[in-house]
Amino acid sequence: MADRLHGCGQMEKEKEPGDEFAFCEDYKRFLDCAKTEREAVRALIAELEGDGFVPYDRSKIWRPGDRIYFNQRNKALILAVIGERGLAKGARLAAAHIDSPRLDVKPAPLYAQEGLAFFKTHYYGSLRKYQWAAIPLALHGCVCLSDGEMVDICIGEKKGEPQFTVSDLLPHLASGFSPRPVDEIITGERLNVMIGSGNRENGGEFLKDEVLRLLKEFYGIEEQDFWSAELCFVPAFGSTDVGIDRSLIGAYGQDDTVCAYPAVQALRGLKIPENTCIVVLADKEETGNGSTTGMDSTYMDDFIEDLAEGEGLKLRHVYAMSRSLSVDVSSAYDPNYPEAFDPLNTAYLNKGPILQKYSGLRGKSETADACAEYLGELRTILKQEQIAYQIGEIGKVDCGGGKTISRCLAVRNLQTADLGVPVLSMHAPFEITSKRDIYLLYRGISAFFHTPI
């Protein structure tokens, strides 16, 4: 490993033993009940309302210390604590995303063949398709019935419930597949999830009808109701400690829940900050930030503009004065694949969150590229609070790259940079993070919120 500098690493404040472990026990519980964006929003609202947060009402005049939330179509969420100076000097904003790679169920998914019933899927986000075969899967989501009733679905998470899987080819017959590129071993159209079986002599239509009968019996779902459904398959296993020292966490969906959760907890810890502080939890980052719940939509602008108008301010002026963080993950150095990383410019597990000037790919394409002056501000905040952090980028220049929502913030004239937790096996069904890095990110975001603009 190359010798490199880590900001404030030698100055980190002493903390109570077990702080990071206790914080991450709560984080793991949240991970297990928030595998989709809808579940994350639902779980957070229940928690926040018990902590004094109330739904946003644009007709109300908000006072310093008020705690509010805005629910965007049950798939994105904005939280705010009103500051002593309101938005007069700008806001401090941290934005994360709460969607993760998964297998979305197609609109016409159900078919039966040779005694097996399947749901056809369309993978969501950037994933390595072969990783999703031969693992237990759970079905999550909701269905809007023809009469408008919404039915929530979650099958495969509780003990004793059935689970699902994508079959894989046995190694004895795989010689013809081995020379193929890894992305062609299992194609998108082979990601068909096995949901049942039956007597072959009864025929495929009989089996299909039997599956539909069970769906009707337990959930009231007709075949055409899939046309107005949001269903997906996610890994059926829960979060767990990794390593004999329990210093790491393994779980599905840590990109980007591992940054969203510390941001929410940092905001919850505020009483009356100097500036209004905001957390945005967006959907659709993994597919390019589109839709009405992604960061390319206007719901964040509308929310902050309403607050600004209530104070006699213009949105563009508030944005120009504000400071923001894109709290999103980056890659962690993997000793098994050293050829993918620049050791001097890569994050390492257990050395704190990574502060990134830019992300992007192919010559920094589609990056925000933070200003040096703003990075200096952030370094000062982290140094003053003696919070260990590291600098770097996702990997070697020509190996690929990645994008975050920092670009969505920058196009609004918000000063922004990326600060997030390094992850091993990113976008895999089982991602690895460090408890120390998670806790230090929480402290970093908290320091960011507490610092006046």
Report how far residue 308's alpha carbon sits from residue 294's, in angstroms, rounded to the nearest whole number: 22
pLDDT of residue 400: 76
Within this chain, do residues 71 and 188 fall inside the same structural domain, yes or no?
no
Within this chain, do residues 409 and 274 fall inside the same structural domain, yes or no?
yes
Residue 394 lies in a domain: yes
pLDDT of residue 176: 75
Within this chain, do residues 106 and 96 fall inside the same structural domain, yes or no?
no
Tokens standing for residue 394: 């996702």
Percentages helix, strand, coil for the chain (3-state, rounded to 5) are: 35, 25, 40
Whether the CB-CB separation of 279 and 262 falls below 8 Å is answered with: no
CATH number at residue 138: 2.30.250.10
Within this chain, do residues 334 and 312 fall inside the same structural domain, yes or no?
yes
The H or E element spanning position 323 is strand 323-326
* Chain position carrying tokens 């990109």: 255
Distance of CA 93 to the CA centre of its chain: 17
Report how far residue 354's alpha carbon sits from residue 362's, in angstroms, rounded to the nearest whole number: 21
Distance of CA 366 to the CA centre of its chain: 20
The per-residue pLDDT for range 75-127, each reduced to its tens digit, is 999 999 999 999 999 999 999 999 999 999 999 999 999 889 999 999 999 99
pLDDT of residue 198: 78
Whole-prediction pTM: 0.94
CA distances from 46 to 53, 123, 234, 311 (A): 10, 30, 23, 29
Residue 171 lies in a domain: yes
* Domain final residue, candidates 235, 266, 299: 235
**Maximum Cα interatomic distance, the chain, rounded to a whole number of Å:** 74
Tell me the residue range of the domain where 336 lies: 9-100+252-450
Report how far residue 401's alpha carbon sits from residue 362's, in angstroms, rounded to the nearest whole number: 7
Residue 203 lies in a domain: yes
Within this chain, do residues 180 and 94 fall inside the same structural domain, yes or no?
no
Report how far residue 389's alpha carbon sits from residue 7's, in angstroms, rounded to the nearest whole number: 5
Cis before 256 (ω within 30) = yes
| Non-local CB neighbours of 81 within 8 Å, separated by 6+ positions | 65, 66, 67, 267, 270, 272, 273, 276, 277
The H or E element spanning position 198 is none
Within this chain, do residues 422 and 342 fall inside the same structural domain, yes or no?
yes
Q: Is 245 exposed, middle or buried (0-12, 13-18, 19+ CB in 10 A)?
A: exposed
| Non-local CB neighbours of 136 within 8 Å, separated by 6+ positions | 156, 163, 164, 165, 235, 236, 237
pLDDT of residue 310: 95
Domain count, the chain: 2
Residue 240 lies in a domain: no
Q: Of 419, 387, 395, 406, which is closest to residue 345 (Cα–Cα)? A: 395
Residue 1 lies in a domain: no
Tell me how many degrees the CA angle 330-384-264 measures, rounded to the nearest 5: 50
pLDDT of residue 10: 46
* Domain final residue, candidates 171, 205, 235: 235
pLDDT beneath 70, residues of the chain? 1-17, 178, 199-204
Residue 208 lies in a domain: yes
Within this chain, do residues 90 and 146 fall inside the same structural domain, yes or no?
no
pLDDT of residue 1: 44
Within this chain, do residues 379 and 260 fall inside the same structural domain, yes or no?
yes
Radius of gyration of the chain (CA): 23
Which segments of 354-415 does DSSP mark as H helices, in order? Answer: 372-384, 406-410
CATH number at residue 327: 3.40.630.10
Within this chain, do residues 427 and 357 fall inside the same structural domain, yes or no?
yes
Within this chain, do residues 299 and 434 fall inside the same structural domain, yes or no?
yes
Within this chain, do residues 170 and 202 fall inside the same structural domain, yes or no?
yes
Residue 383 lies in a domain: yes
Residue 242 lies in a domain: no
* Domain final residue, candidates 235, 269, 295: 235
Within this chain, do residues 189 and 275 fall inside the same structural domain, yes or no?
no
pLDDT of residue 225: 96
**What is the bridge-based pairing of β-strands 354-356 and 390-391?**
parallel
pLDDT of residue 435: 98
